[in-house]
Structure formats: structure tokens, C-alpha cells
Amino acid sequence: MTEKLAGQEESSAILVRRESQRLREHFQKLYGQEARIFRAPGRVNLIGEHTDYNEGFVMPVAMDLYTWVAAAPREDARVRVYSQNLRERAEMDLQDLNLRLQRHWSAYVLGVATSLRLAGAEIGGANLLVEGKVPMGAGLSSSASVEVAAGYALLESSGLSRSPVELAKICQRAENEFAGARCGIMDQMIACCGRANYALMLDCRTLGFRLLPLFSDAQFVVCNTMVKHDHAAGEYNARRADCETATRILAEQMPEVRALRDVPLADLERYAKLLPEVAYRRSRHVISENARVLAACGALEHGDPESFGRLMRESHRSLKEDYEVSSTELDLLVEIAGGIAGVYGSRMTGGGFGGCTISLVRSGAVDEFQTAVASGYQRATGRKPDIYIVRASDGVREVLE
């Protein structure tokens, strides 16, 4: 380890200790109890967008931005939660599992408590303090990190455990049923199964995955448009419906088709006339994106950032033109990045309609990249983009410091 790296590790251990100490003290003031501390990461997806709910492939990385949860058991069957971000409380009785769909922050925590019970995990009452450090509405999956951190904390506080894959499914169910977003499984899987220094190559049909080391001489860099994807849930659900329409029509011709994952591009072209034009384009994105993830996996394994970057550029074009989930600001960031020396490729990441781009940049060019993107974007929009160099991190854990 170089001296600089050793210094970084040390300062981050100090920061972790300081943060968990602060939470313990705050928790003591709120509830008069000693807390255990947990945290789950946000994520960035390297490639494979809108493929998860089509039973396809994705390649996310857990980022070093976390939702922190302090927790302690209660004697009764109530779950009480305080959100430090919103300075609001919410609570529920675990005997009453009739939580109705509510588009409220507490759905991400109380929905998970309900979902755990519905999955047969006999969790007991608990006090929770939640503090999210993953920017909200930025496409970095703040919601899954809240769900997974809360779910893990609730299990641990009751002396229970579930496998990472089971916890991911329980949290996805909570988001689908109680928060009203029909999200796929990618975000919860990476928040549960992420590993420091690795990307996760995930098959969303089998939930089998492989850990792939990142490039040694190129870095992934995330740029935030600073435009939130606030009203994206309706559009997201509409995209899912388009994919379901296409799958239904294609399955009439090819009975073995269960999801767009099963359709080769040549067959999509053969039956194109049977599909509404929009459903055809949505399918073309999903099918070609799955192929790009598989190719990107090879590029990562062979240490070939040039090919990976080309696949990222193709992914963006497909998301913009066929899937129609990009935005003016995302396109602008991708365009600016494309003109900077040392950039292999750039694309929007996450659900879209705002949020972030991800770029693959030669290691020696990262500083210049940051300066050039920030000034180009600010000049064009008046907004200063937040920029994060991706440090692949671990999935949900208890913080013992």
C-alpha cells in the first residue's frame, strides 16, 4: 500500500468512528438507550440499465456513501423511527400489518418492517435513528440503502439473520408494495452483496453473481446533474408496462419467452411489426443492453477500458433514443465528458430523468476531468455538479467502531 493510500484508510477509519460515536450520542438523547450502528451503501450502476426487471444483467458497484441506522430493541411490538434528514418521527405496531401504500419517507423503513414480518421473520419492536448520506433523487439509490440498512438493523436487533439475497428480496418487496415504485432487484442486491474493490455482475433472473475487480489504470467517476428525478416513478412504471406488453406479444410467437431476456435481437426484428412502435424501441434497448453488459464483463476481465467505454457510449445512446429516460442535463454532461482527453466513455446511470452520469476516465486524467466537467457544466447551466470518484465499497454491515 502506498503512503498516500495508508493515510486515506486511516482518515476514513477515524471518520467512521466519529460518525458512529455521534449517532450513538444522538440515539442516547432520543431514546435513552445504547445503540448498535449499521450502515448500507448507495450504488452506481456501471452498465445494464432497465434490464433488471426484464430478468437481465446489471453491473453495479456499492459506493462509499451510506445510510446509517442506529438501533436498539424495545420491550413492546412497536417500531419507532426518527429521520435525522427530515427531523420527523414515524411509528407502527408490528401486530398491524395492514400498512397501506404510502408515498412517504417512512414507507422505506416501516414497509421493510412489515415485509420482514410477512416473510416470516419474527422481528420484535425497535427504536431506530436513520441518517442518510446518499444524496436523494440523484439516481444513487438512497431508497434501497435506507431499506437495507433498516432491514438489517431490525433483524440484528431481534437476534435474527437472513441471507443477503433474501434480505434484498424483502426490501424490494417493501419498495414495490409500500413505496409505490415497481423497481427491480438491482439496488437492493448491491446494497446487500457489494464488496470493496469489486463490481457485481448480477444475473437478475437467477440472482447469481460474480465479483469483478475494477480497472487498475482507469477510474469510474460520477457527476451529478443536481436535477432530482422527483417525478420519475410514473415514467418508470410506464417503461415497465411497455416491456410487459412487448413480452406478452412476443411470447405468443415464441412460447419459451418469459421475459425480454429470452428474446434474441434477430427475433425482435422478425416480429417487430406485431409490436406497438414504442414497445419495439423499449425492447430493442433492453435486448441490446443485456448484450452490452455481457461484453462489458469481458472488457473488465481483460483490462480493456477502451471497449468498456465504447459500450458505455452505446448504452447512453440507447437509453436516450430508444428508452427515452435521459434528460437535457444528462445529455449535456455526457457530451462534455466526451470532449475531454482521457475519457473512455460516459453514460447516464440509474433510472434516469435526472440524477447522475458515470464516466470511465484514465487514472492520470481524473483531476483534469473534474475541473473540465465542473466548469463546462456550470457555464452551460449555472449549476455546480457534485463529482464523486467511485471507491467500490462493502454491502450492509454493522459498524463496530
Positions that interact with ligand GLA (CB under 6 A): 45, 49-50, 52-53, 141, 183-184, 186-187, 350-351
Length of the chain: 401
For ligand GLA, the closer CB: 219 or 290: 290
CA torsion, ordered 365, 41, 4, 200, to nearest 10 deg: -60
Q: Are 107 and 88 in contact (CB under 8 A)?
A: no
Q: How far is the CB of 355 from ligand GLA (least distance, A)?
A: 9
For ligand GLA, the closer CB: 162 or 240: 240
For ligand GLA, the closer CB: 125 or 184: 184
Q: How far is the CB of 308 from ligand GLA (least distance, A)?
A: 18
Helices (H) and strands (E) in the chain, counts: 11, 13
Burial of 32 (0-12, 13-18, 19+ CB in 10 A): exposed
For ligand GLA, the closer CB: 31 or 209: 209
Q: Are 89 and 37 in contact (CB under 8 A)?
A: no
Q: How far is the CB of 289 from ligand GLA (least distance, A)?
A: 9
Q: How far is the CB of 5 from ligand GLA (least distance, A)?
A: 31
Strands 78-83 and 36-45: unpaired
For ligand GLA, the closer CB: 127 or 142: 142
Distance in angstroms (rounded) separating the CA atoms of residues 318 and 299:
19
Q: Which residue has the cell 427475433?
A: 267
Find the catalytic residue in 64, 76, 96, 187.
187
Which own/partner pairs from 202-208 qualify as long-range (CB within 8 Å, at least 24 positions apart)? 202/52, 202/57, 202/58, 202/59, 202/60, 203/57, 204/51, 204/52, 204/53, 204/54, 204/55, 204/56, 204/57, 204/58, 205/55, 205/56, 205/259, 205/261, 207/165, 207/168
Q: How far is the CB of 55 from ligand GLA (least distance, A)?
A: 12
Residue 217 is a catalytic residue:
no
Q: Which residues are the active-site residues?
A: 187
